[in-house]
A and B are shown apart, each in its own frame.
Chain A
């Protein structure tokens, strides 16, 4: 019964703190919207290329590529000037039988894009030249043998069909990091706000007074878990709805499974926040845990591919709660996995939760010896 009373009290206090509520519910939405604009609009950079003396076929192929604008120059000097002014990103010049490419290289993604465009166009030009020759040869051959050549000429151009297991051709980096981001917001806000709440309870003396009543230590911890659990459910639902309806992200699996995983993560964050708040003397000291505890979570959560790191560095990720929730949510969202097939991720999260909760209940002994 006391657990419920504590839960009601914590919720009541939170509901009256409008700014904190706004932070919990609207800040993640705002950041998600901003990130989706930033990552989705800049997926392919636009490049401007100066060309000098290019053969017509090659020039047309380059010019017809998407996100590419070409400008014809007659001299290298004029082109170079445009390059220095930032008007163009690269110069392609044909000298005798060779090609000279000069890159501004101020933006490596643009340099890479120009290289790709040039190579693709070269291949295309070569292929069409070969095709023409082939047609000429086959027509010549057909004339000799007296058979029609039309069939073989048509079959020379195969059509490429793309199929996507998840999403569509616009699926980009943002879609990959979204499951992790979702978990990160839940973790970050619950960690910070619950830690602050318990810290305030300690510094204002209400914790001492609470412990001077027959309340059990576990009832305090569970009361906090219930109230922040409810808050985390609302927060997760809001984030999921925004990602599905506003950002149009596809969730292949069950939305409820996504919410369940994030709820477990929120409880881990809560237990973590309460535990660390006992090591902080003030709100400012609580803030100091952000660079030490919260930010590394992002690095090891899988936003940056772990398989490219040194083994011992990527091993750190095994103790990062967000990695497990991120993996699980990514499986549900992108592969449509059922929650029952994610036993390992969930049991690791639950294991961390049980250990942290136990530490909290024992840790409250510092303030009352029974």
Chain B
């Protein structure tokens, strides 16, 4: 069996009286893109926070690279992009990249090479010296993605990475994500865009605190007997 980059087993998470995650089983293998879809409030962000160790599981287990989370040292192997852009807007794009690179513990000699590389990936090289508060929404999103890519982490956790990015750039981002996968690195991605879900290797459907279905996109369509992932989503939710 292939070693899993991350593995959630029977994960339970409660906030006060409210049980947000009831029984989540989810794993991302090495060299795989896993899409996590589900309606708002299904617990997607909680899955991500538990994976990163910001929250502790109330039941079941959460491991990354076979180590139980939370674990601080392991975070240097995880690239995280939040739903909010989370940038320091008084600083320039480059200063943001350098700061987060320092926080990730990238060595001084590598920092320049590393920031130049990620900036090129998200097509921000020409705007790196501008302050972030003069950036457009799409540019901020791209810078945020670039920060997640810093240090070539073995696991990328991306929360809605392509919101506000134009189609041409989105295609470019996905090309990059696929080449990351082909290097044997793993990606967990949440998305609202259903045709993006089709691009994932496997898709997990999170509903009501449980993973209702978790398979290849084509297998899911067969299982629900529909043509698109969007229909799978709607059918599972019971709208149609």
Contact = CB atoms under 8 A, between A and B. Distances in A.
Q: Are these two chains actual partners, yes or no?
A: yes
A246 to B, nearest CB: 32
Interface in A188-213: 204-206, 208-213
Contacts of A13: 88, 90-91
B84 interface: yes
B103 A2 contact: yes
A103 to B, nearest CB: 60
Contact of B80 (A204, A212, A215): A212
Contact residues of B: prevailing secondary structure: loop
B103 A5 contact: yes
Contacts of A369: 53-56, 70
Contacts of B88: 9, 13, 206
Nearest to B87: A206
B151 to A, nearest CB: 9
B85 interface: yes
Contact of B104 (A12, A206, A211, A213): A213
A92 B85 CA distance: 78
B54 A9 contact: no
B90 A16 contact: yes
A370 B95 CA distance: 27
Contact of A368 (B70, B74, B76, B99): B70
A370 B103 contact: no
A212 B52 contact: yes
A367 interface: yes
Interface in A11-59: 12-13, 16-17
A216 to B, nearest CB: 7
Chain A interface residue bracket vs B: 20 to 34
Contact of B99 (A5, A16, A370): A5
B105 interface: yes
B86 interface: yes
A213 B84 contact: no
A212 B72 contact: no
Nearest to B70: A370
Interface string B4-48: 000000000000000000000000000000000000000000000
Chain B interface residue bracket vs A: 20 to 34
B78 interface: yes
B71 interface: yes
A370 B80 CA distance: 17
Nearest to A10: B88
B105 A214 contact: yes
A23 to B, nearest CB: 16
B100 interface: yes
A22 to B, nearest CB: 16
Nearest to A1: B102
Contact of B102 (A2, A16, A209): A2
A205 B54 contact: no
Contacts of A9: 88, 91, 95, 99
A291 B82 CA distance: 36
B72 A370 contact: yes
Interface in B76-132: 76, 78, 80, 82-88, 90-91, 95, 99-100, 102-105
Nearest to A220: B103
A13 B89 CA distance: 9
Nearest to B56: A369
24 contacts: A5-B103, A9-B91, A9-B95, A12-B95, A13-B90, A13-B91, A16-B90, A17-B90, A204-B87, A205-B84, A208-B54, A209-B80, A209-B82, A209-B100, A210-B103, A212-B75, A213-B103, A213-B105, A214-B103, A215-B103, A368-B52, A368-B54, A369-B54, A369-B56
Interface of A: 1-2, 5-6, 9, 12-13, 16-17, 204-206, 208-216, 367-370
Q: Which 9 A-B pairs have the closest CB atoms?
A: A205-B84, A370-B70, A205-B86, A212-B80, A5-B102, A209-B86, A213-B103, A13-B90, A214-B76
Given A204-B86, A204-B87, A370-B72, 16 more contacts: A1-B102, A9-B88, A9-B99, A13-B91, A204-B84, A205-B82, A205-B84, A210-B103, A211-B54, A213-B104, A214-B72, A215-B103, A368-B52, A368-B53, A370-B53, A370-B71
